Amino acid sequence: MAKALTINSSLQELSLANNDIGNEGAFTIASALTLNSTLTILDLSRNGIGSEVDDALSGTQFDEKAIFALSEVLKINSTLSNLNLSGNKIGFTGANSLSEALALNSTLNSLHLAYNSILSEGAIALANALKINSTLNYLYLGNNFIHSNGANSIADALQFNSTLTHLDISRNEISSDEAISTALKANSTLTLLNLNNNFLVHDDEGVIPEALKINSTL
């Protein structure tokens, strides 16, 4: 498949979801993308990319080779608009690599990173990228254990970002909504915000409902 991508000049969408291609498979796909100029949608979800591997000293570690290669591709690729990496285990190191790429990439429109254990550190890195990136419209970060620290950083980034329209930070054990509320008062581009299954207090008089009285896009 990777070899075919290097010579194909017509394929625009490729889904390899749930195929257990692992890090080696993802690495070869990433290498092929450096020579491909037509693919716009790539789905590598649920493939064991970045999965923990045995390490003699620490017991486990994340294999970073594949996600690093994909990140390097995003820095130079000018055709890919939709990348789905949900259901892998890229961890916060993988999120850091992708964040560096997002700061340089000018074509990616949609990024799916749900179920990747990026933690608050990964969310903070992505938030920094959002302050710079001007093309991403859809960002899915559900079920990543980003907690309130990660959510607060992303909320802060929303005050600077003017392109993101859809943000999913559901199922992340978020308990603080002050930063989110502040962001919603300032942001004028977000049209969908998914906060399902967090630890936020449901109160009609709370800070988020108050922010929604000011926000005119959600």
* Per-residue pLDDT at 57: 42
Confidence of residue 86 (pLDDT cuts 50, 70, 90): very high
* Per-residue pLDDT at 211: 80
Distance of alpha carbon 125 from alpha carbon 175, whole angstroms: 20
Confidence of residue 52 (pLDDT cuts 50, 70, 90): low
Work out the average pLDDT over 139-152: 98
pLDDT, averaged across the chain? 91
Phi/psi for 206 (5° steps) reads -70, 180
Confidence of residue 218 (pLDDT cuts 50, 70, 90): confident
Tokens, residue 108: 């990616």
| 55-77 pLDDT, tens digit each | 444 334 457 889 999 999 999 99
C-alpha pair distances (Å), 30 with each of 10, 154, 159: 18, 27, 33
* Per-residue pLDDT at 204: 55
Would you say residue 51 has pLDDT above 80? no
Task: Report the DSSP pairing between strands 192-194 and 166-168.
Answer: parallel
Would you say residue 112 has pLDDT above 90? yes
Between 83-87, 100-104, 157-161, 213-217, the lowest mean confidence (pLDDT) is in 213-217
Instruction: Indicate the domain borders of the chain.
Output: 2-212
* Per-residue pLDDT at 122: 98
| 147-204 pLDDT, tens digit each | 999 999 999 999 999 999 999 999 999 998 899 999 999 899 999 999 999 998 766 5
Q: Is residue 160 a contact partner of residue 127, using CB atoms and an 8 Å limit? A: no
- 144 CB-near residues (< 8 Å, 6+ apart): 113, 114, 115, 116, 117, 118, 119, 122, 123, 150, 172
* Per-residue pLDDT at 210: 84
Q: Could you tell me which CATH class the domain 2-212 is placed in? A: alpha beta
**pLDDT > 90: percent of the chain:** 81
* Per-residue pLDDT at 60: 40
